Amino acid sequence: MRIYKVGGAVRDRLLGKPVTDIDWVVVGATTEEMLAKGFRPVGSDFPVFLHPKSGEEYALARTERKSGRGYGGFTFHASPEVTLEEDLIRRDLTINAMAEDDQQNLTDPYHGQRDLEARLLRHVSPAFAEDPLRVLRVARFAARYAALGFTVAPETLELMRQLSESGELQALTAERSWKEISRALMEDQPQVFIEVLRACGALKELMPEVDALFGVPQPQAHHPEIDTGAHTLSVLEQAARHKQPLTVRWACLLHDLGKGLTPEEEWPRHIAHEFKGLKLIKAVNERFKAPKDCQELALLVGEYHTHGHRALELKPSTLLELLQSFDVYRRPQRFEEFIAACEMDARGRKGLEQRSYPQADYLRGAATAARSVAVQPLLEKGFKGPELGEAIKRERLKALKAYKETASF
């Protein structure tokens, strides 16, 4: 039995990046031998085991053949005869298909090291096509390593295009896709993820609502970049630059979907795009079973981002409605995330990246004013049930009127 470190751990060590997860491949062993050594099996017919002490993953060297569409369609062939080279050739990228023994001797039959130096994301072999999720993985690696100068090799992009056009991406489960999407959005350059998906035609398959934004113009006065797709990418870029959490990044990606529905004769204006986009945001949310907090924030940002930008002009009654919609009294954090998304939207415009956004502090001040209304005195006055609700609202409105008059912005 021979054991090698493989995949990301080897790649990241050679790149001089911190290694977090270590994957191992075991050559020349049977399931029975692994079990006898105390390894714990993962699943029933999957040749992967967890180390009894470290908990790291050890996979028997295997070849993979495809027997049907989608993830459930895999069959695995693992046996002691499968060689290291046979195992490595079925992996996604050359830079992920290197192995290392305990003396740090590198096995690199598919020239991963050369591609690391050339900054190329290149598939190992036609076996790449066995798992369509790899289209998303390559786009994610492109986002992660963009700062190091990595690009996707033209022949790999071509293969990704063929996979996208074949309709295979439709067979991916929501869970697998979301894992890739959410990780990619948290990379330093998440806009590159979307760009690469678009370049190979995968964006049209996965999120046609986002793809539709490219080529849609907006008024130059507010959007010097004009194109709605370019704007969306810049908003995402700003969100990463400002280290925003996943909820905010997801909302940034989806905030303008309604603009893709505007009839051409109305361009470059997009009347009521905030409201029109909601059904599209809902569809994308549900397609990938995004977590509840991501879904909620995307819908709220979609509906109210223009209110955020106009905060200083809003009537106190409209401000109150906004605060109520966010349930800012019980969910202060969600309102902060809304403000952050609006700010990223305002800065994700050509030449306006450094602009100030006084709306942010103004909205925070409004939330504080509304929240400062005490309920106890109203209870003491005898208000109950729906009447109490109305009385609280009246007091909050008064507080917001006073705030608007005195706040100096």
- Residue 96 engages ligand CTP in binding (rule: CB under 6 A): yes
DSSP structural state of residue 18: P
Of 27, 48, 92, 172, which lies in the binding site for ligand CTP, with binding defined by CB under 6 A? 92
Q: Which of 141, 125, 44 is nearest to 92 (CA)?
A: 125
Residue of minimal CB distance from ligand CTP? 8
Binding mask 23-62 for ligand CTP (x = CB under 6 A): x---------------------------------------
229 in Cβ contact with 213 (< 8 Å):
yes
Q: Classify residue 293 as exposed, middle or buried by CB count within 10 Å of its CB (0-12, 13-18, 19+).
A: middle
- Residue 91 engages ligand CTP in binding (rule: CB under 6 A): yes
CA–CA dist 140, 200 (Å, integer) = 13
Adjacent-strand bridge partners of 186: none
In the structure encoding, which two tokens stand for residue 323, read together?
Answer: 């605060």
Residue 100 three-state SS: strand
CA–CA dist 97, 113 (Å, integer) = 10
- Residue 270 engages ligand CTP in binding (rule: CB under 6 A): no
Binding mask 369-388 for ligand CTP (x = CB under 6 A): --------------------
Minimum CB distance to ligand CTP smaller for 22 or for 118: 22
- Residue 7 engages ligand CTP in binding (rule: CB under 6 A): yes
Residue 64 three-state SS: strand
Q: How far is the CB of 405 from ligand CTP (least distance, A)?
A: 53
- Residue 122 engages ligand CTP in binding (rule: CB under 6 A): no
CA–CA dist 88, 273 (Å, integer) = 49
Adjacent-strand bridge partners of 397: none
Tell how far CA 277 is from the center of its chain: 19
Of 4, 8, 84, 180, which lies in the binding site for ligand CTP, with binding defined by CB under 6 A? 8
Using CB under 6 A, count the residues that bind ligand CTP: 12
Minimum CB distance to ligand CTP smaller for 187 or for 303: 187
Q: Classify residue 305 as exposed, middle or buried by CB count within 10 Å of its CB (0-12, 13-18, 19+).
A: buried
Residue 317 three-state SS: helix
According to DSSP, the β-strands at 48-50 and 57-60 are antiparallel
Of 134, 223, 305, 347, which lies in the binding site for ligand CTP, with binding defined by CB under 6 A? 134
- Residue 21 engages ligand CTP in binding (rule: CB under 6 A): yes
Q: How far is the CB of 38 from ligand CTP (least distance, A)?
A: 23
CA–CA dist 190, 91 (Å, integer) = 24
Q: How far is the CB of 128 from ligand CTP (least distance, A)?
A: 8
Cα distances from 20 to residues 41, 190, 239, 300, in angstroms, run 22, 21, 25, 35
Minimum CB distance to ligand CTP smaller for 185 or for 339: 185
Identify which range of 130-138, 213-221, 229-237, 396-404 contacts ligand CTP by CB under 6 A.
130-138
Identify which range of 91-99, 204-212, 284-292, 401-409 contacts ligand CTP by CB under 6 A.
91-99
- Residue 5 engages ligand CTP in binding (rule: CB under 6 A): no
Identify which range of 69-77, 99-107, 132-140, 239-247 contacts ligand CTP by CB under 6 A.
132-140
According to DSSP, the β-strands at 57-60 and 23-27 are parallel
Of 131, 209, 256, 337, which lies in the binding site for ligand CTP, with binding defined by CB under 6 A? 131
**Which residue ranges make up the site for ligand CTP (CB under 6 A)?**
7-8, 21, 23, 91-92, 96-97, 131, 133-134, 137
